[in-house]
Amino acid sequence: MTSLLQNRANIGILFILIGVFSISINDMLIKQLSGGYPLHEIVFVRSAIGILITLCVVQMEGGWSILRTSTPGLHALRGLLIVVSNMTFFLALAALPLADATALFFAAPLFITLLSIPVLGEKVGPLRLGAVVVGFVGVIIMQRPWVDSGDLAASRLVLLLPLVAALTYAMNQLMTRKLGVKSKASALSVYIQGTFIVVSLGFFAVAGDGRFAEGSTSPSVLFLLRAWVWPAAADIWVLLGLGLNSAIVGYCLSQAYRMTDAATVAPFEYVGLPLAVFWGWIIFSEIPVLEVWIGITLILASGLFVFLREQKKARLIASSKLSQR
């Protein structure tokens, strides 16, 4: 039994590492495309390609029947949370350095810890609460409230976008484990891809002609509302790659969290932070400023501490139950 659980944990870790690496590629490519295409066009293309690939996986995991669910409302809510999380993060990428936006997004585990108190009824001790406070101190340092707004890389509102993304991502993760018990990873991915397609088509119907972007100079507003355009020949391959990558991300993350405890796999998501710094440096010549390095360190340290404490708590609870048998 122990060997089986360990194998599941190892496979879950492998899935999360593949998923996180794919996310870093995804973020880098979307940032590259953000200056010429609207976000909803990129999202539509990558999700349309991604869902076609994922539907093939659905056939391998059991056929169309696995798409049936007794909780369609919860799946729709989960899909909308992921859409909000992704789109607010991508909007931030259009105006912020890749490492800055990614580091702020990694406040998500801190939100998960706080939300687990009212949502799941968990007890969070003073050490974990202290770590959460330290992490949010890192967030504040990265926001640099002592600096004049005109001297920042982007507006205060844009700096809040990765935190909105982190909050909605945290809410999604609290739902994933429960839904994953009855749903295959491919089905979970299809629901999300489908939600992205519906939302992006809605944006196209309302703002696809670009009229709401006229006169704006904000990179984030332009990225959200500029008109749809036919992709340049070189960019078609990038969009196809995004679609394939989207299928990989959706499947790997869903599989990791449905088959393994979140406390086991979640710390490995932090691999995304050095990857973001690397891509930002190599592709965009971005070097984080001192405040960002301090914020990254505090957020990384506090997040890992929270997960390690959760793992220790889980082991103590498990051993206590065994001793009572």
Helix axis angle for 233-259 and 185-207, nearest 10°, is 140
4-27 burial, b at 16+ Cβ within 10 Å, e below that, comes to eeeeeeeebbebbbbbbbbbbbbb
Q: What is the pLDDT of residues 184-195, one digit of tens each?
A: 778 888 888 899
Q: Give me the pLDDT at residue 21, please.
A: 94
Lowest mean pLDDT across 28-42, 158-172, 263-277: 263-277
Q: What is the pLDDT of residues 284-298, one digit of tens each?
A: 999 888 888 999 999
State the pLDDT confidence band at 197, using cuts at 50, 70 and 90: very high
Residue 259: strand, helix, or coil:
helix
Q: Give me the pLDDT at residue 247, please.
A: 85
Residue type for position 196? F
What six digits make up the tokens of 296? Answer: 């990254």
Q: Give me the pLDDT at residue 315, please.
A: 58
Q: Give me the pLDDT at residue 276, please.
A: 93
Q: Give me the pLDDT at residue 29, please.
A: 92
Greater confidence (2 vs 32) lies with 32
288 closest CA partner among 13, 104, 127 = 104
Helix locations, 94-225, DSSP H:
98-105, 108-120, 126-143, 156-180, 185-207, 219-225
What six digits make up the tokens of 117? Answer: 């108190």
Could you tell me the end-to-end alpha-carbon distance of the chain, in angstroms, rounded to an integer? 17
Enter the pTM of the model.
0.83
Number of independent structural domains in the chain: 1
State the pLDDT confidence band at 7, using cuts at 50, 70 and 90: confident
State the pLDDT confidence band at 1, using cuts at 50, 70 and 90: low
Using a 10 angstrom Cβ sphere, with 0-12 exposed, 13-18 middle and 19 or more buried, the burial of residue 176 is: buried
Task: Please report, for residues 44, 73, 274, the alpha-carbon distance to residue 106 in angstroms, rounded to integers and kept in the order given.
Answer: 25, 27, 12
State the pLDDT confidence band at 102, using cuts at 50, 70 and 90: very high
Answer positive or negative: Cα dihedral of 57, 12, 168, 273: negative
State the pLDDT confidence band at 2, using cuts at 50, 70 and 90: low
Q: Give me the pLDDT at residue 321, please.
A: 45
Percent of the chain residues topping a pLDDT of 70:
88
Q: Give me the pLDDT at residue 258, please.
A: 72
Q: Give me the pLDDT at residue 85, please.
A: 93
pLDDT at 3 over 80: no
What is the average per-residue pLDDT within 226-234? Answer: 90
Answer positive or negative: Cα dihedral of 286, 291, 293, 298: negative
Q: Give me the pLDDT at residue 119, please.
A: 72
Q: What is the pLDDT of residues 240-264, one digit of tens each?
A: 999 888 888 878 887 887 777 666 7
State the pLDDT confidence band at 322, using cuts at 50, 70 and 90: very low
Q: What is the pLDDT of residues 39-53, one digit of tens each?
A: 999 999 989 998 998
What is the average per-residue pLDDT within 205-213? Answer: 90
* Residues 163 and 110 sit within 8 Å (Cβ to Cβ): no
What is the average per-residue pLDDT within 226-250? Answer: 89
What six digits make up the tokens of 260? Answer: 């393994």
Helix axis angle for 233-259 and 156-180, nearest 10°, is 50
Q: What is the pLDDT of residues 145-175, one digit of tens each?
A: 887 767 666 778 888 999 999 999 888 877 7
Task: Please report, for residues 79, 159, 246, 260, 317, the alpha-carbon distance to residue 76 in angstroms, rounded to integers and kept in the order given.
Answer: 5, 28, 18, 23, 33
Range of the domain at 58: 2-323
